[in-house]
Amino acid sequence: STCYLDGRYLPLDQARISPMDRGFLFGDGAYEVIPVYSRRPFRLEEHIARLGNTLAALQLPDPHNAGEWAVIIRELVATNDWEDQSVYLQVTRGADTKRNHAFPAQVTPTVFLMSDALLTPPADQLASGVAAVSAADFRWLRCDLKTVALLANCLLRQHAVAQGCAETILFRDGFLTEGSASNIFIVRDGVVLTPPKSHLMLPGITYDVVLELAARHDVAHEVREILEDEVRGADEIWMTSSTKEVLAVTTLDGRPVGDGRPGPLGRRMHALYQDFKNTVMRS
């Protein structure tokens, strides 16, 4: 496939960066994953705004304004084959001449984008839901930033995969935070619940869409702290992300969630999400 590196479009297997890049040495960079439906980026403004927040927290000047990002993404999407794509975008602080923890005085950010076919959950996964395990959330205290330093998230996702599961649901001090690469919603007594945004979780773009849809379609919902026991006793659990969209979790740590099948509110929210996506993309 074609990628973008520092102003040039080129085949992904020909792209090269320096081993002195601080993204490689320190995980010193920000990223986004933007879903593209029918060649149109979904919620682009929000993704670019979140990138801006992460870069600001890293004290890394955003190398492009929103209009420039939109052009780069449009060109990249046009050069690749798929109608639906997932665009990966990252900005690292760039390559220094020496390895120093502190920021170099003179450095040019490395801007890299690649794209792949967007693979949303297949029909059988939507029908059966997926299995999840739980773990203590041992990540740092700035989980609101989307940085490329993802080792904890990798270990936590592998923890699930090693047990034949799709996701690890994280608890910190007895409260739900999120998944290793998703936000988590639960349903109890007909009410959709999800934790409030804080430095302990990523402010998901899909999380926002789901809450907007719940409000617009009068689905009872509440944003509040959720106890671990409330998750374990939930009628439904969903994971949400740009590529998983709204996906039911039907077992947690080997025990069925509710009756062990995707529940009615999750199926409704998945349908609302598909409708919304299609309407936005056609407008």
By annotation, the residues acting in catalysis are: 146
Residue 277 to residue 197: CA distance in whole angstroms: 23
Minimum distance of ligand PMP from residue 28's CB (angstroms): 18
Dihedral sign for Cα atoms in the order 65, 245, 9, 71 = negative
Residue 17 to residue 202: CA distance in whole angstroms: 28
Among the listed residues 166, 202, 231, 265, the single contact to ligand PMP using CB under 6 A? 202
Minimum distance of ligand PMP from residue 180's CB (angstroms): 6
Minimum distance of ligand PMP from residue 102's CB (angstroms): 27
Query: H or E stretch including 283?
Result: none
Among the listed residues 54, 85, 115, 206, the single contact to ligand PMP using CB under 6 A? 206
**Token output for 200:** 């302990």
2 binds ligand PMP (CB under 6 A): no
How many residues at the interface with ligand PMP, by CB under 6 A? 14
With CA atoms as reference, report the closest residue to 193 among 218, 222, 171, 229: 222
Amino acid, single-letter form, for residue 46: E
Residue 38 to residue 280: CA distance in whole angstroms: 11
Minimum distance of ligand PMP from residue 202's CB (angstroms): 4
177 binds ligand PMP (CB under 6 A): no
Identify which of residues 206 and 250 has a Cβ nearer to ligand PMP in the complex.
Answer: 206
Place of tokens 């999750």: 266
205 binds ligand PMP (CB under 6 A): yes
**Token output for 252:** 């947690």
Site for ligand PMP in 25-54 (CB under 6 A): 33
Q: Which residues bind ligand PMP (CB under 6 A)?
A: 33, 153, 178, 181-183, 202, 204-207, 240-242
